[in-house]
Amino acid sequence: MTDTVAPALAAASTAAVIATAPVAVQPARAIEIQTVTSPGGITAWLVSEPAVPLVSMQFAFDGGASQDPDDKPGVANLVSVLLDEGAGDIASAEFQERLESLAVEISFDAGRDGFYGQMQTLTRNLDEATDLLRLAVTDPRFDEDAIARMQTQTIAGLRRRLNDPESMAGRLWSETVFGDHPYGRPVRGTMETVAAITADDLRAFHGNVFARDTLTIAVVGDIDAETLKPILDKVFGGLPETADLKPVPEAALPAGGLEKTIELEIPQTVIQFGRPGIKRDDPDFIPAFVVNHILGGGAFSSRLYQEVREKRGLSYSVYSFLYPLEQAGLVVGGAATRNDRAAESLSVIDEEIVRMAEAGPTVEELDKAKRYLKGSYPLRFDTSTKIARQLVEIQRDDLGIDYINKRNGLIDAVTIEDARRAAARLYGDGSLYVTRVGQPEDAPEAANDG
């Protein structure tokens, strides 16, 4: 093994360990979370665990793709893939080389309502890792050559997805349900809008969104509070104090059901369905979460899986999930089936949703769902990355630092009356927003993908 190959292989191996290594923590309910505030006033939640020499940091800012310019969806997403393509006085190639040589992972992602970042590093490389993270967060370069390269990659991905049935169904569904609302625009943008994005657009987004007042941070691993405090100021202290976010209005969802179809010559029809749901801060969210598990979130045990796949063999996969956004609450689901059985599949889904709305779950179904949801919860906390990600989301949802300890109790407290009330609220009259891609028989309304 040559001297030039050995370090690269060692770095790659170390990076793989960082990505998959478990943290030797107790079950979720026993995780000890500290609130750490830096001298500069930046707050983070910390789970200190020295057993494994790794540190994972996750953070988020309010304002994701909903902050894109109205005529240029895709800006937030392009920012997310450019932040580590050079920062400060370090150009793209050198920045990537430093990350690789230190086995440091830094990545970013744009959602509809938030912009997320993460860093993972060995403890011994923490100083260098946080130096690079600081530059990426506070001083990205947005060089023209890097922008052009990432635009090309993004457009290539969009072109591949252009005729992908699931992507087509999802795009049509969002456009149909949300219309001109920011949620109706594609997070990744379109080939045309991505090509039109400039460095000024990227800098404007970064300047408006990246600020300390909407920042949430979680750190897990081989680090204590006193070590973390100056790191918080080093990485985030150079950001503006307040964000300049444009207001995002409440989404006005369509009244009643609707169906739209894109004709595509494929053997299967891809179906996406949904309807108004509830937001995360709704008092009925936990009962609704349990009810949705029974309907379509419980994989092999759900009603939809049993009725659509097991009893009738209509679809390999069928599912539903709660989709709470800041300005809309939804329940969404999907399936794929043969063209000649698409109408039957959708009819069965309709029937199960109406049945759940009218009668709710049985006591036996409720007890079984609660046992599963409580027992599986610790699986969300078996790595430092998972723990940090959960802590960021708990902060963003304003659930309280004791939520991990309370969560299973909240599940256990759901009564059959709670579940039936939530089912009636969640599924209402059973009407659905439906989009289909394929050649389903008796498609009610055709739509193009333009």
Domains observed in the chain: 5-22+29-236 (3.30.830.10), 258-438 (3.30.830.10)
Q: Which residue has the tokens 């659930």?
A: 399
- Closest to 43 (Cα-Cα) out of 33, 31, 28: 33
- Provide the pLDDT for residue 27: 52
The residue with tokens 């609302």 is 181
Strand order across the 258-263 sheet:
258-263, 433-438, 268-276, 328-338, 315-325
pLDDT of residue 443: 54
pTM: 0.90
Whose structure tokens read 């600020």?
Answer: 211
Residue 17: the pLDDT is 40
Q: Which of 398, 400, 401, 392 is nearest to 280 (CA)?
A: 398
Instruction: Give the residues across from 140 on adjacent strands.
Output: 87
Q: Which of 139, 265, 148, 155 is nearest to 203 (CA)?
A: 139
**Token code pair at residue 403:** 């939520």
How much is the pLDDT for 6?
Answer: 32
Q: What confidence score (pLDDT) does residue 349 get?
A: 97
pLDDT at 24: 45
Q: What parts of the chain have a pLDDT lower than 70?
A: 1-29, 442-450
Distance (Å, rounded) from C-alpha 327 to C-alpha 280? Answer: 11
What is the end-to-end Cα distance of the chain in Å, rounded? Answer: 54
